[in-house]
Structure 1
Amino acid sequence: MIVFPAIDLKDGQVVRLSEGDMARATVYGGDPAAQARAFAEAGAQHLHVVDLDGAFAGESRNAAAVEAIIDAFPGHVQLGGGIRNAQAVERWFSAGVSRVVIGSAALSDPPFVRDMARTWENGIVVAVDARDGMVATHGWADVSDVPVADMARWFEDAGVAALLFTDIGRDGLLKGVNVDATVELARAVSLPVIASGGVKGLDDIYLLSLHAADGIEGVITGRALYDGRLDLGAALALAGRAS
C-alpha cells in the first residue's frame, strides 16, 4: 500500500484546509520544494500535490511551486487541482508528473476523462470527493446529486489508474479516515482506490492496510504529518508490509 504525503498549495505556500474551506487554511511553510525534499529524505517515493487555487479557478494558479516540487522530488508526483482540459493534462505530463488527478471534469465531462485515460495510459486518477455520499466538485464548493459509487462506475472500463476517494467532512480535521466508506467503494468497483481525508495517526494506516486485498491502493496524509501526529517513516514501513 502506498503512502502519499500531501502538499497542498495556496498562494505558493504549503497549507492544509479544514473540510476543503479556503477560509480555514493553516500555513505550514513557504517553500514547497523544501517540503518535497523533506518527504523524500524520510523515504517517500510518491507525493500528492494539489493546486488549491487552481481547483477553484479551473486552471493552474501555482505552476511555479508545482514545477519546483517536481524538480525537487525524485519519486512519483501525483497532481490535481484545476486540470480540466487536454492542454493542461499534456502540460503536466510533459513537466514530469506521473499521474494527473481529475475531479470536477470527471463529473461534467466523462468522455474527456475517458479520452485522457486512453491517451495517457495508467496516468489518470479520478477524484471522487464525497459530501454526505454525494459527489462534490470545483474545490468542493458545489455538491451534486450524483452518488459517489455511481460516478465511480462510469470509469471502470476507461483505463484510469485509480480512484481517489475523499470524505470531505473529515478532511483536515484529524477525525480518522472513513474506512468503512472507502472499503465499500473499493468493493463496489473494479478500480484501485486511494483513501484520503482525516488521517490522524498510524492506526488509520493500519486499518486501511488490512483492506489492501479489497483494492485499497494507498492513502494520502497531510495534517497529521505536519502536526507531528504521524511519523512518515513508520507509516511507510507499516504500509509496505501490506503491499
Structure 2
Amino acid sequence: MMIYPTMELQQGRCVTLDKGRLDAAMLWHVDPVETARSWAAAGAEWMHLTDFDAIEGRDTNAGLVEEIIRAAEIPVQLGGGMRSRETIEHWIDKGVGRVVIGTLAALDPELVKELAKRHPDQIVLSVDVWKGRVMTEGWRNSSAFTPEAFLDAYGDAPFAAVIVTDIDSDMEDVEAQLGLISGLAAKARTPVIASGVVRSVDDISRLAYIHNISGALAGRSLFRKTLDLGEALEVAKGAHEPVAQFQ
C-alpha cells in the first residue's frame, strides 16, 4: 500500500482545513519545498499536493507548485482547480506525476474520460462525499450524483486511481469513514486511495486489509506529529507480505 504524504497550500503556506473550510485554515510554519524534500528523504515514493488558491480560481501558488514539482525528487499528485483541459495539460507538461480531477468530472464526464484515455496513469478521479452526495467546487456545492452512481458513470475509464473522502466524518468518526470507503472500494474498478482517515499507524494497518485500497493520503497527522512518516511507510510496505503458516 502506498502512503502519500500530503501538503495543502494557501497563499504560499502549508495549511490544513477542518471539513474543507477555506476561511478557517490552520497554518503550519514550515517551508513547503524543504518539507517535500524531507518526505522524499524519509522514503516516500509519491506525495500529494492540493492548491486551495487554485480551487478559488487564483494562481497565487503556481510558481511554488512548479518549484515543489522540480525539487521534491518524487512524483507529485496535484489537485485543486483542475477545471479545464488546458489547465490539466498545462500541469502535465510542467512535469506533475498525476492530476486529480473532481468538479470537472461531475460537470463534463465525457471530457474527463477522454483525458483519462489520452493520459493513461496520470488522471485521478476525486470522489468527495457529504450526506450521500458527491461534492464539487472545493466541497461547497452538492452534485446530483451519489458516489455509487458517480463511479458507475465512469465504467472502465482508465484512471490511475480514485481518491475517496468522507467529508461528513472528516477525522471524527473513522469507523464510519472506513465503512463508506470500503463500500466504494468494493464497487470501484480502479484502485482506491483513502483520504482523511489516517491519524496513526494503526489506521494504516486497518486500511491495508480492505479490498482494493491501494493507498492513503496522510497530511494533518504528519504536521501534528501523531504519525511518523518513516514508520507509516514501513507499516504500509509490510502490510501485505505473506505470513508463514504454522506447521
TM over 0.5, yes or no? yes
- 2:66 is aligned to 67
Query: 1 or 2, which has the higher strand percentage?
Result: 1
Counterpart in 1 of 2:243? none
Letter in 1 for 2:174: G
Structure 2 partner of 1:218: 215
1: CA distance between counterparts of 2:19 and 2:168? 5
Normalized against structure 2, the TM-score is what? 0.92
**Structure 1 residues 94-243: aligned runs within 5 Å:** 94-171=93-170, 173=171, 175-176=173-174, 178-211=177-210, 214-242=211-239
- Structure 2 unaligned residues grouped into runs of 5+: 241-247
* Cα drift, residue 43 of structure 1: 1.3
Partner of 1:33: 33
Decide whether aligned partners of structure 1 residues 65 and 169 sit closer, same or farther in structure 2, where only a CA change above 3 A counts.
farther
For residues 37-48 of structure 1, the aligned pairs below 5 Å read 37-48=37-48
Structure 1 residues not aligned, in runs of 5+: none
Q: Which runs of 4+ in 1 moved over 3 A?
A: 173-177
Per-residue CA deviations over 1:45-94 (Å, capped at 9, x if unaligned) read 1100001111132x644111111111111111100000111111111111
Partner of 1:86: 85
Deviation at residue 174 of structure 1 after TM alignment: 5.8
Give the length in aligned residue pairs. 239
Using a 3 Å threshold, how does the CA distance of structure 1 residues 226 and 161 change in structure 2: closer, same or farther? same
Mapped to 1, the partners of 2:21 and 2:223 lie a distance apart of 18
Give me the whole-angstrom Cα distance separating, in 1, the residues matched to 2:137 and 2:60. Answer: 14
State the alpha-carbon separation in 1 of the partners of residues 2 and 90 from structure 2: 25
> Given that residues 51 and 61 in structure 1 are in contact (C-alpha distance below 8 angstroms), is that contact kept between their aligned partners in structure 2?
no
What is the SS of the residue equivalent to 1:100? strand
Corresponding position: 1:15 with 2:15: yes
- Cα pair 1:45 1:75 within 8 Å, conserved: yes
Residue number in structure 2 paired with 1:4: 4
Name the CA distance, whole Å, in 1 between partners of 2:172 and 2:225: 12
Return the alpha-carbon distance in structure 1 between the equivalents of residues 197 and 214 of structure 2: 17
Of all paired residues, the percent bearing the same amino acid is 38
Question: Which deviates the most, 44-53 or 25-34?
Answer: 25-34
Letter in 1 for 2:25: A
Which structure is larger by alpha-carbon Rg, 1 or 2? 2
SS of the aligned residue for 1:4 comes to strand
The separation in 2 between residues aligned to 1:99 and 1:242, in whole angstroms, is: 25
Q: What is the one-letter code of the residue matched to 2:18?
A: S
User: How far apart are the structure 2 equivalents of 1:77 and 1:119?
Assistant: 19
Residues 226, 30 of structure 1: alpha-carbon distance in 2 compared, 3 angstrom cutoff: closer
For 1:19, give the aligned amino acid: K
Q: TM-score, structure 1 length as denominator? A: 0.94
Question: Do the aligned partners of 1:100 and 1:125 also contact (CA within 8 Å) in 2?
Answer: yes
Partners of 1:6 and 1:128 in 2: CA distance: 17
The one-letter code sitting in structure 2 at the alignment partner of 1:55 is I
- The answer to whether the 8 Å contact 1:174/1:223 transfers is no
